[in-house]
Amino acid sequence: MADLRNTFVGIKSPNPFWLASAPPTDKAYNVERAFKAGWGGVVWKTLGEEGPPVVNVNGPRYGAIWGADRRLLGLNNIELITDRDLYTNLREMKQVKMNWPDRALIASIMVPCEEESWKAILPLVEETGADGIELNFGCPHGMSERGMGAAVGQVPEYIEMVVRWCKQYTRMPVITKLTPNITDIRKPARAAKAGGTDAVSLINTINSIVSVDLDNFAPNPTVGGKGTHGGYCGPAVKPIALNMVAEIARDPETRGLPISGIGGITTWRDAAEFLALGAGNVQVCTAAMTYGFKIVQEMITGLSSWMDAKGHRSLDDIIARAVPNVTDWQYLNLNYIAKAHIDQDACIKCGRCHIACEDTSHQAITQFVDGVRHFEVMEDECVGCNLCVNVCPVENCITMVGLEPGVLDQRTGKPVDPNYANWTTHPNNPMARQAAE
Amino acid sequence: MGTTQSGIHRGRLAPAEYETNFSDLHPRLDDHEALVAADRCYFCYDAPCMTACPTSIDIPMFIRQISTGNPIGSAKTIFDQNILGGMCARVCPTETLCEQACVRNTAEHRPVEIGRLQRYATDVAMTENKHFYERAARTGKAVAVVGAGPAGLACAHRLAMNGHDVVIFEAREKAGGLNEYGIATYKAVDDFAQAEVDYVLSIGGIEVKNGLKLGRDFTLADLTANFDAVFLGMGLAGVNALGAEGENLPGVVDAVDFIAELRQATDKATIPVGRRVVVIGGGMTAIDAAVQAKLLGAEEVTICYRRGKEHMNASEFEQDLAASKGVMIRHWLQPKRVIARDGHVAGIEVEYTEMRDGKLTGTGETGVLAADQIFKAIGQTFETGGLGSLAMAGNRIAIDAEGRTSIANVWAGGDCVKSGEDLTVTSVAQGRDAADSINRMLAAGAQPAVAVA
C-alpha cells in the first residue's frame, strides 16, 4: 500500500487532502464531519478582526455552470469571510484540534493591512493549538472593496510586508494564499518568499460573472435585482490553477517553495496532477460542496491504487515529478511529429472528428471511403493538432501516434529528423541563435 | 363479467381497468426527463438518424434545441420537414428507423430516445398553440387532394403554404386517415389525431369535404377537369380474405374494423371481445388488434403467423409489447378452417407450415385452437375505382420519384402507391414531396406533368 502520509511545512496529516478555507470549514460541526469522513486537514474559514463580524447577503450566494446532465463544472460565490464571532471560532478550533490531534488544522486569517491588526490576532490563533496560518490575500469580492483579500494579493509589496509581520509575531508556519486575479503569478509568490513565507497556496477564486438572468437582465446570483462579480472555482478553473502552480514551481526565484495546490480538484487524478506539478499537498472545496465530504474517500483510494499500480511508494515519489517537463514553447521539439489514428473498432461514426477537422482545421479526416461512412485520418494532411482526439466522445478511440525517426512524414514528404530542434534555432526565426561556426 | 366468460361480450372489465389499459403507452417526457434524454445526443455530423428518417428531420438540431431550453424552436425544426411530426413521434417504428441508426447503439446498445424527444417538443408547441407557417399570397390555383390521411394532409399543408387553394375529398366522417382510424388507442390518446388535423388545417386555404368517396361519388376525371392539379392520397380500403372455410361466420372480424371501432368508442366498455381470441397475421395491425383484445379483457389471445419470427412485419418492439401484455405469438401456422358451433365461431383449425424449396408449404399436420373470436389481419388491398386509365404498378398506383402518375397533373402518394413501407412517416414524405413537385409545376406555368407512360 502506498504511503499517503503528508508533511507540509512541518504540518503532518494522514493524507494530502485538506479542505480549503470556505463554507465547509466554517464551524466545528462541519469540520468534525469532515474529519470523520477522512479528510487529512482543514483550513478553517477565514477569521476576521475582533468585533462585530461581517455580514453576508441574505439572498443567493452561489451561481454555477453545468455540463451534460447538469454536472456542476464551475461554481461562483459572493460569500464573505466567516460571519461568526471571532471567539466562537477560536473556541471551536481549539476543541476540534484537541479531538483530532492527528489532523491538520490551519487558521485562515484576513484583517486590515495594518501591523497592529495582525499583531493582535496572531496570539489568539496560536492559543488554539492550530498547526499554522494561511493568509487570505485572495478573496476577490466584498472584502477586497475594503482593502483586504485580493486587494492585498494584487500588490506584491503589501504581501511581503504582511508576511513579514506574521513571521515576526508568530512561531506558526505561514502559508500565503494567492489570488489568480493578477497578470503574472510569479510576482506575488516572489514577494511572499521575500517576506519569509513558509509556503504559498493557490489559487483563490477567479473574478467572474457566471451567468446573466435574461428575464431580469441582471448577473447571477441576483440579489434584489442586482448582481456583483463573484469568485469562480470548481472543475472549470483547474487548468488555470495547474498553470499557476507550475509557474511558481519552475521559477528559479521560487523553486523549492512549498505549494499547497488548490483549484477544481475533484478526483484523485486531479490531485495527482497538482502534486506532479509541484504541489506538496492539495486543498479541496467545490467537490465537497457538490458531493459531500465522502468524496475524499474516492480521492484517497484512487491515489493509493494508482501509486500502487505505478510503484510509487510515497508522495515524495510523485511530488514535482512533472516540473522538469514544463518548458517554454520555444524549447519544444519541432522535429517531433505525431499523427492522429482512429481505432475503427471503437469508432461509433458520429462524424464529429470529421466536421471539426473539415470546418475548423486541416481537412485531414475522411467522411466516406468507397461510398461508405468511414472516418479515417489522411496522414498527408494531418498536422497532429489533437483536436479530433478532444472532440471524440469515445475515450481512446482516437490517439496521437508519434512517428519514429526516419519514417516518412506524408504531409511534408520528408523523413522524421531524429535530432532535437526548437524554434530558437529554426531558420524561420529572425532571432534564431546560429550555432557557432 | 370478467375475462373467463365464453363468447363475445362487452364490459368484461371494471371501468378503472379500461381507463388504465387504454391510457398513454409512453407518456410525454417532462422537462427534466427531456433535458436528461437530450443531453445524450452527440450532435453527429451528417447524422445517421437524420438519414434514416424518411422525412429527413434534422434530429441533432431539434434535440440540441431541446437541451438549450428552446422546445418551440425544436418543434419548428421538426415541422419544417414533417408537419405530422406529432403523430410520427407516437407511431413511428423508431427502433427500425432513427433510433436504430443512432451511434449510441454502437458503444452502449441504447440509442437516444429520439421518438420521445420529438413528442416532447411537438407537444410543447401544440399545447401552446404555436403556429409556424403562414400562407403565401394566393396563387389562384386550385388543387384537389383525395384522402385526408397523412399523405393528403402533408400535401395539402405544403400546397396551402405556397398559396394554392386546396380541397380535400375524404370518404370517411373524419379526417386523419389511419391516424384516426388505424392506430391503437394507447398510442394516440386524448383525441390527438383530430387535434393534429386541426393544427395542420389552421394554416387556412384547405377545405375538407367528408363523406365523398372516389369511384362512388366522383371520378378522377371530374377532378382533373375542375382543378389545376390532383393529389391522390387514398389508403387501402380492402382486406385480404383468409381463404379458409367458414370465414364468413359471425365472430370472424376484420382487424382494421375492430381497431377503428375501438378508436371511435368513447367508452371502451362498449366494445365486445371474445374470451379466446385468435389473430391471423404478422404485421402491426395484427399486433394492435391482439394487444387491444387483451386490454379489453380477453382471457387468451394468440397471434398465428404463417412464417417465422424474422419474417414478421411487426417490429421487434411491437412483438415485445404484445408479449408483455400476455399475447402469445405462434409462428409457422396457417388457417385452414374456421370451426363453428351453433352458428358461431368455436375455434380454428390451423396447419403447420414450412419452407420447402423456397416455397411456403403446409406440412399436413393440423391442430385446433379454441376461439370465440377471430381477427383477420393478413393485409389490406388497394381498391381501385374511379381512376380511369391511371397506370398501376402491381396493385397500386405507379409514380415516379416526384410522385407524378401516368396522367398529366395527377400526383399520388401514401399507401395507394407502391413504396413497400406503408408507414405514416413515408406517407408524409410522399405527400410533402408531391406538393413541392406540384408547386414547381404550377409556378412554372402549367407545364403538363406526365412521367409514367
Provide the CATH number for the domain around residue B330: 3.50.50.60
Tell me, yes or no, whether B63 and B122 share the same domain: yes
Residue in chain B closest to A395 (alpha carbons) equals B107
Q: Could you list the residue range(s) of the whole structural domain that residue B290 is in?
A: 239-379
Give the helix/strand (H/E) hosting B209: strand B206-210
**A184 pLDDT higher than 50:** yes
Share of chain A above pLDDT 90, in %: 94
From A259, A293, A325, the end of a domain falls on: A325
d(CA B374, CA B344): 11
Number of domains forming the structure of chain B: 3
Tell me, yes or no, whether A158 and A173 share the same domain: yes
Select from A73, A211, A350 the residue whose CB has the most chain B CBs within 10 Å, as the one to mutate to test that interface.
Answer: A350
From B346, B379, B412, the end of a domain falls on: B379
Chain A residues whose C-beta sits inside 8 Å of any chain B C-beta = 68-70, 346-352, 354-355, 367, 373, 393-394
Q: Report chain A's mean pLDDT, rounded to a whole number.
A: 96
Tell me, yes or no, whether B288 and B335 share the same domain: yes
From A283, A307, A325, the end of a domain falls on: A325
Tell me, yes or no, whether A310 and A338 share the same domain: no
Pairing of β A259-262 and β A199-202 = parallel
d(CA A308, CA A311): 5
In angstroms, the separation between the Cα of residue B83 and the nearest Cα of chain A is: 27
Identify the pLDDT of residue B243: 87
**B369 pLDDT higher than 90:** yes
Q: Is A431 part of a structural domain of the chain?
A: no
**B-chain residues within 8 Å CB-CB of A355?**
45-46
Nearest to A351 among B36, B39, B44 (CB): B44
Q: What is the mean pLDDT of residues A188-200?
A: 98
Q: Do B45 and A373 touch (CB under 8 A)?
A: no
Q: How confident is the model at residue A359 (pLDDT cuts 50, 70, 90)?
A: very high
Residue pair B158/B183 in contact (Cβ under 8 Å)? The answer is no
Tell me, yes or no, whether B272 and B350 share the same domain: yes
Q: Do B107 and A394 touch (CB under 8 A)?
A: yes
From B101, B127, B153, the end of a domain falls on: B127
Residues 6+ apart with CB under 8 A from A17: A38, A39, A40, A41, A271, A281, A282, A284, A296, A299, A300
Residue in chain A closest to B44 (alpha carbons) equals A350
Q: Do B42 and A367 touch (CB under 8 A)?
A: no
Q: Which residues of A are catalytic?
A: 139
Tell me, yes or no, whether A312 and A341 share the same domain: no
Q: Report chain B's mean pLDDT, rounded to a whole number.
A: 94
Residue pair A299/A266 in contact (Cβ under 8 Å)? The answer is no
Identify the pLDDT of residue A437: 46
Tell me, yes or no, whether B187 and B218 share the same domain: yes
Q: Is B451 part of a structural domain of the chain?
A: no
Q: Is A334 part of a structural domain of the chain?
A: yes
CATH number assigned to the domain comprising residue B87: 1.10.1060.10
**A-chain residues within 8 Å CB-CB of B44?**
349-352
Tell me, yes or no, whether B214 and B254 share the same domain: no
Tell me, yes or no, whether A131 and A226 share the same domain: yes
Nearest to A351 among B36, B46, B106 (CB): B46
pLDDT in tens, A38-73: 999 999 999 999 999 999 999 999 999 999 889 999
In angstroms, the separation between the Cα of residue A337 and the nearest Cα of chain B is: 28
Q: What is the mean pLDDT of residues A10-35?
A: 98
From A325, A359, A380, the end of a domain falls on: A325
pLDDT in tens, A242-257: 999 999 999 999 999 9
Tell me, yes or no, whether A339 and A229 share the same domain: no
Q: Is A430 part of a structural domain of the chain?
A: no
Select from B33, B46, B50 the residue whose CB has the most chain A CBs within 10 Å, as the one to mutate to test that interface.
Answer: B46
Tell me, yes or no, whether A241 and A313 share the same domain: yes
Number of domains forming the structure of chain A: 2
Tell me, yes or no, whether B111 and B179 share the same domain: no
Identify the pLDDT of residue B452: 58
d(CA A402, CA A394): 21
Tell me, yes or no, whether A95 and A153 share the same domain: yes
Q: Could you list the residue range(s) of the whole structural domain that residue A358 is in?
A: 329-425
Chain B residues whose C-beta sits inside 8 Å of any chain A C-beta = 35-36, 39-40, 42-48, 103-104, 106-107
From B93, B127, B161, the end of a domain falls on: B127
Q: Do B46 and A352 touch (CB under 8 A)?
A: no
pLDDT in tens, A127-161: 999 999 999 998 888 888 888 888 999 999 999 99
CATH number assigned to the domain comprising residue A348: 3.30.70.20
Tell me, yes or no, whether A231 and A375 share the same domain: no
Q: What is the mean pLDDT of residues B262-271?
A: 95
Tell me, yes or no, whether B196 and B282 share the same domain: no
Q: Is A434 part of a structural domain of the chain?
A: no
Q: Do A351 and B106 touch (CB under 8 A)?
A: no
Q: What is the mean pLDDT of residues B335-345?
A: 93
Identify the pLDDT of residue A144: 86
pLDDT in tens, B148-201: 999 999 999 999 999 999 999 999 999 999 999 999 999 999 999 999 999 999
CATH number assigned to the domain comprising residue A91: 3.20.20.70
Kindly state the cell numbers that stand for B307: 412464417
Select from A70, A348, A353, A394 the residue whose CB has the most chain B CBs within 10 Å, as the one to mutate to test that interface.
Answer: A348
**A291 pLDDT higher than 60:** yes
Identify the pLDDT of residue B450: 59
Q: ipTM score of the complex?
A: 0.87
Q: Is B190 part of a structural domain of the chain?
A: yes
pTM, full prediction: 0.91
Identify the pLDDT of residue B394: 87
Q: What is the mean pLDDT of residues B280-295?
A: 96
In angstroms, the separation between the Cα of residue B102 and the nearest Cα of chain A is: 9
Q: Which long-range contacts (CB under 8 A, 24 or more apart) does A225-231 make?
A: A228/A78, A228/A141, A229/A140, A229/A141, A230/A62, A230/A63, A230/A76, A230/A77, A230/A78, A230/A140, A230/A141, A230/A205, A231/A76, A231/A77, A231/A78, A231/A139, A231/A140, A231/A141, A231/A204, A231/A205, A231/A206, A231/A207
pLDDT in tens, B298-326: 999 999 999 999 999 998 899 999 999 99
In angstroms, the separation between the Cα of residue B66 and the nearest Cα of chain A is: 13
Tell me, yes or no, whether A91 and A199 share the same domain: yes
